[in-house]
Amino acid sequence: QNDMFNAGKYEKAVTQDSKEICIQLNAGLNHEDDDLPAQTDGIGLYRTEISFMLCDSLPSEEQQVGWYRNLLSKFKGLPVCMRTLDVGGDKALSYLPIEENNPALGWRGVRVCIDQPNILKTQLRAMLLANKDFGNLEIMIPMVSRLEEVVIVKRILNEAFYEIEEETGSKIPRPRFGVMIEVPCVAFMLDELAAECDFFSIGSNDLISYLFAADRANPKVSKLFDAFNPAAVRYLKYLIDRATSLQRPISVCGEIAGSPIGCMLLMSLGYTKLSMNYSQISMVKYIVKNINLQDLQAVGKQAMALNSSVKIKQLYIEYAKSKG
Ligand code: PEP
Ligand code: MG
């Protein structure tokens, strides 16, 4: 089976009707000695907190510049989307303990960064410095729930940007800037957010969890966490349609993007940019090569009219079977 999937390596992911699907990698640590860049269209999500989690104290600007430079140079010529520090919730730093009764609804993601602007500023400076010679950096912010958060992060990013230009006496590349859609309320702020950013990226793990108020790690309620529930399907359809009409690229970097029927669901709704773990890339490429996007989008239309997760899933399974 692996050989069959490996056949997808080193090739662009193109459907049978010649539509290109952008397949990106979710990364956390630098992979030093492999051929990852050759297999992907860049990095759709670099979880910076993983490197922070491996330190005993806050990493310095210099240390971070080293990490980020490695990754940007390794993926030279391909986009590398770095997410600002996303701690809190289920991710903890020993040197920044967060103890709360309800961490999923607490101090996490961009909320922490805004309250600790020095941590954020150092990180943004390090990203910009690392990008000086490469220009393939993109920056996105996690757990956004208000327009004001985006405005504050952009202000700090701008400060960092002009500081560095002044310090180095030279122009530096300006990274594309994105907002993650993980907190459901932002769906109703897409117009205003689009005016402040270049792209959107859906963190479907958190988004689906908040949409159904269900923790997928809790076996008593995990079945409620369901991307195939009609509410989730319609929600995802709304997001792609709205972002498209606002002319903002929108990708999905949560786990559904790398699951066999999850990626079919997304493509059927119109998503053409998916980011996933390394181990899922060849399987998703294999699926992309075996679907006809136009047919699959017709399946997506049918799915929108169904009233249960079971029926919706069945549609995609049938489609997959029809393709062998
Ligand atoms: C997500 O929530 O889907 C996401 C990509 O972020 P993380 O899994 O790191 O919380
Ligand atoms: Mg998340």
Neighbouring C-beta atoms of residue 318, cutoff 10 Å: 11
Contacts of 305 (CB under 8 A, 6+ apart): none
| Burial of 205 from C-beta contacts in 10 A (0-12 / 13-18 / 19+) | middle
Whether the pLDDT of residue 4 is over 50: the answer is no
**pLDDT in the model for residue 38:** 74
Q: Which residue has the higher pLDDT, 12 or 160?
A: 160
**Cα 295 to averaged position of ligand 2 atoms, centre (Å):** 31
Ligand 1 in contact with 182 (CB < 6 A)?
yes
Whether the pLDDT of residue 304 is over 60: the answer is yes
Q: pLDDT above 90 covers what percent of the chain?
A: 91
Whether the pLDDT of residue 105 is over 50: the answer is yes
Ligand 1 in contact with 313 (CB < 6 A)?
no
Whether the pLDDT of residue 194 is over 80: the answer is yes
- List, for residues 234-277, the tens digit of each pLDDT value: 999 999 999 999 999 999 999 999 999 999 999 999 999 999 99
The atom of ligand 1 lying closest to the CA of 26 is: 5
pLDDT grade, residue 9 (50/70/90)? very low
Structure tokens that stand for 315 in this block = 């549609």
What does the pLDDT average to over 44-58?
96
Rg of the chain on CA atoms, in Å? 20
What does the pLDDT average to over 8-28?
86
Ligand 1 in contact with 206 (CB < 6 A)?
yes
**pLDDT in the model for residue 31:** 56
The three-class DSSP label of residue 130 is helix
Q: pLDDT averaged over the chain?
A: 94
Q: Whose CA is nearest to atom 9 of ligand 1?
A: 47
pLDDT grade, residue 6 (50/70/90)? very low
Ligand 1 in contact with 41 (CB < 6 A)?
no
Ligand 1 in contact with 203 (CB < 6 A)?
yes
What does the pLDDT average to over 217-234?
98
**pLDDT in the model for residue 30:** 56
State which of 48, 182, 252, 276 you would mutate to test the pocket of ligand 1, scoring each by most atoms of that ligand within 8 A of its C-beta: 182
Ligand 1 in contact with 74 (CB < 6 A)?
no
**What is the number of the ligand closest to the CA of 211?**
1
Contact 297, 270 (CB under 8 A): yes
Specify the pairing of strand 20-27 against strand 13-14.
antiparallel
Contacts of 324 (CB under 8 A, 6+ apart): 290
Whether the pLDDT of residue 56 is over 50: the answer is yes
Ligand 1 in contact with 109 (CB < 6 A)?
no
Ligand 1 in contact with 254 (CB < 6 A)?
yes
**Cα 171 to averaged position of ligand 1 atoms, centre (Å):** 33
Give the amino acid at 46. Answer: Y
**Cα 194 to averaged position of ligand 1 atoms, centre (Å):** 21
**pLDDT in the model for residue 28:** 87
Cross-strand bridge partners of residue 138:
81, 176
Q: Whose CA is nearest to atom 4 of ligand 1?
A: 203
What does the pLDDT average to over 149-178?
98
Give CA–CA dist 5/318, Å, rounded.
21
Ligand 1 in contact with 49 (CB < 6 A)?
no
- List, for residues 173-186, the tens digit of each pLDDT value: 999 999 999 999 99
